[in-house]
Structure 1
């Protein structure tokens, strides 16, 4: 099944690349791109089979995200983020699954999970308000997962905080149209969302802590290996895969550009041993970044498939590997792009767009290395990290 999705992406490669230029101009995915992604089934890859999904191995999902991002960075980014949401919805309340997928298994869900809202308990559910940034692909989504905190009657979050993931339809939130004017990943349309005092029934609210520590999926009763994988393995996977894929796209365009280029000294670049060594070394680093990310997913899959529950230390090691893969990939293409000469800076060449988009990918919160590396190091020493070092692990 996954190979069919990849084949469809390959068949649309030229169109997807051209539409990436259009997405940059529009500040969101072109409608044609979203249509192609639906036809290819990319957002249904991690979706349960009983709701029209493919339930593929997460490695296969990551590989298709990389391929998409290498052609159209913004489409790859949306593929990686929106494509993970069906994985979580698979262990949400069945009433919620029916509400979203019954009439259209290709329904897309936006996010983000950042706790930008407050949920005040009322009979049967919550009153919900807030504002969120970075809702990637939101113009083509009909539902959203939004992060929130439980609040008191005064509207302020309770202490200690209680995190929620709230599932709401497009009719309950506003997209702020002029909120995405950025230097990279412009075509993702990652706009702000606003919710103003809407009612959300209990069955459309998930306990954020239980989602992240794996309790939610076990309470639901899922037994498939795919859905028993840690949230901290699955949620970052699409984002890092997209970042690596964008870097692979830059390498391909750099190779095409350098193939016939003559440098400022009048030497064919292919005959310049200094450039060839530097680019070769960087390309090997980029390949290693890809391989380490995929091997990390395979390792976690094998662990869970054997009936084991990953420890915090194992989850932290996985996150450490994933973050390092992103930084290694972007650092590699910095060395490649810097050796493409002054004309590579021109806006009519794709190199600069891929370079900007790759760097924008590093700005996502899941790619911040400090707390992840610190928490992983403490875990390896047998020390339980404090709560702020356990976030997103």
Structure 2
């Protein structure tokens, strides 16, 4: 294990040095938390929040620092490490893994803002966490030095554990075409309320409650144009020059909300196989494991997991390579975008098979396959996991039409 002195990297000298674990050690820490997350899962579902003890364990393990800039105590590690942690934690509790993934990616996005934004958040405490709701429902009016922001946003995962939030809103850019386009606004906890609205069928521990802002001032340095993230022309690139921060925003964020389904599906498959191994049909007494239809379903789900995990690893390696080279052809971005947005739909098909063959016992609360069924279906409801717009865009480009998607 090596040491990183964040002061030596150019941040404030009062920020303590931290240990920088290697990738294998971080993954090992995630694996060690799997049984802990399973023990806490029922309470997390009932309370509709990830326990504070789990958030603290993630902090102590260094998970939130994986994508965070080194100058603020982060590790600036590969997105592959970040995704592997999310996938592993989801084998314990998908809701807890979802909160990890969403919060941790904001530590990466903050590096894209004007550098003053990171100073606002981390100058005194580089462990401060950020939530989000990117849906562009906010109303912003330009004023001297920034904007006045108001609105209500849904689906802010892990917001109870965060001190800042990134919120979406449409505005007409001064150099734009007159059509409103999406911007992100970084707002401190003192300027928003959290409304307890998260009563849902799956991903219950994520605590994805509503955020309300009433006429808050947001300085210009805490606002970023989504088009700049698409074009890789962000204010933060001047300070954060590493290849990690030269990945298009959606290429990384969309994998945040798709990767955890793989871990949940893996857990469900293992539980299904173990439970079915000695199970017998109620009326005939025949071993269900001998049923060729069930055998085929297990083989199909296993193949789906293998395919998706290989695709994820390949795509993440390509993102890193392209970030180093700066080569981002729009056609390939469309293909990579479609890869990740179709991932959860394939997990839905796979978990449906396991649920179908789990029998009547699976309808009882607490059944692991049922939990994965509900969580993965809820993940599919996320806009970034809707494959149809991405498929239509990619198909259209194949026939010579222009790209019409900024979320690539």
Which bracket does the TM-score occupy, shorter chain normalised? Answer: over 0.9
2:200 to 162, 182, 193: 182
Query: What is the alpha-carbon distance in structure 2 between the residues aligned to residue 228 and residue 18 of structure 1?
Result: 39
- Structure 1 residue 150, shift from structure 2 partner: 2.8
> Is 1:3 matched with 2:24?
yes
Instruction: Report how far residue 298 of structure 1 moved.
Output: 1.3
Residue of 306, 328, 331 corresponding to 1:287: 306
1:377 maps onto 2:392 in alignment: no
CA distance in 1, matches of 2:255, 2:53: 25
Counterpart-to-counterpart distance in 2, 1:171 and 1:121: 21
* 1:227 equivalent in structure 2: 245
Provide closer, same or farther for how the CA distance between residues 348 and 205 of structure 1 changes in structure 2, counting only shifts above 3 A: closer
Checking the alignment, whether the CA contact within 8 Å between 1:92 and 1:220 is kept in structure 2 is no
Q: How many angstroms apart in 1 are the aligned matches of 2:366 and 2:41? A: 13
Q: CA deviation at 1:378?
A: 1.9
Higher mean C-alpha deviation, range 345-354 or range 67-76: 345-354
Deviation at 1:243, TM superposition (A): 1.9
Q: For residues 51 and 279 of structure 1, what CA distance do their matches in structure 2 show?
A: 45
Select 1:38's aligned residue among 47, 55, 59: 59
1:312 CA drift (Å):
1.6
* Cα distance change, pair 221–101 in 1 and its aligned pair in 2 (3 A): closer
Aligned residue for 1:131? 152
Partners of 1:121 and 1:150 within 8 A in 2: no
The one-character-per-residue Cα deviations of 1:136-182 (angstroms, maximum 9, x if unpaired) are 01100110111112379xxxxx95103211111111100002x1111
Single out whichever of 133-142 and 341-350 deviates more from structure 2. Answer: 341-350
CA RMSD of superposed structures (Å): 1.8
CA contact (8 A) 1:263 1:341 kept: no
TM-score (norm 2): 0.90
1:90 CA drift (Å)? 1.1
Q: CA deviation at 1:221?
A: 5.2
Match of 1:17 among 38, 41, 47: 38
> After superposition, what is the alpha-carbon deviation per residue over 1:368-390, rounded to whole angstroms, capped at 9, x for unaligned?
122100111122333213xxx41
Which residue of structure 2 aligns with residue 167 of structure 1?
A: 186
Q: Secondary structure at the match of 1:277?
A: helix
Q: Is the 8 A contact 2:86 2:100 kept in 1?
A: yes
2: CA distance, partners of 1:151 / 1:139 = 32
- CA distance, structure 2, for counterparts of residue 21 and residue 73 of structure 1: 12
Task: Describe the SS at the equivalent of 2:133.
Answer: coil
- Distance in 1 (CA, whole Å) between partners of 2:239 and 2:386 is 33
- 3-state SS in 2 of match to 1:293: helix
Task: Confirm or deny that 1:277 pairs with 2:310.
Answer: no
Work out whether 1:215 is the aligned partner of 2:233.
Answer: yes
Cα distance change on mapping 1:257 and 1:103 into 2, 3 Å: farther
Q: Which runs of 5+ in 1 are unaligned?
A: 153-157
Shift of 1:309: 2.8
Please tell me whether the aligned partners of residues 323 and 367 of structure 1 are also in contact (alpha carbons under 8 angstroms): yes
User: 3-state SS of the aligned residue for 1:175?
Assistant: strand
**Structure 2: gaps spanning 5 or more residues:** 1-21
TM-score, with structure 1 as normaliser: 0.93
- The reply on whether 1:145 has 2:160 as its aligned counterpart is no
Match of 1:252 in 2: 270
Deviations 1:171-214 (A, max 9, x none): 1100002x111111111000000000011111111122112221
- Distance of 1:221 and 1:290 partners within structure 2: 33
Task: Note the C-alpha offset of 1:223.
Answer: 3.0
- Distance in 2 of aligned mates of 1:33 and 1:100: 22
Structure 1 segments of 4+ aligned residues over 4 angstroms from their partners: none
Q: Does 1:392 align with 2:378?
A: no
SS at match of 2:366: coil
Does the 8 A contact of 1:345 with 1:351 survive in 2? no
**Does the 8 A contact of 1:244 with 1:330 survive in 2?**
no
Provide the C-alpha distance between the structure 2 equivalents of 1:218 and 1:169, rounded to a whole number of angstroms.
Answer: 19
- The aligned length equals 383
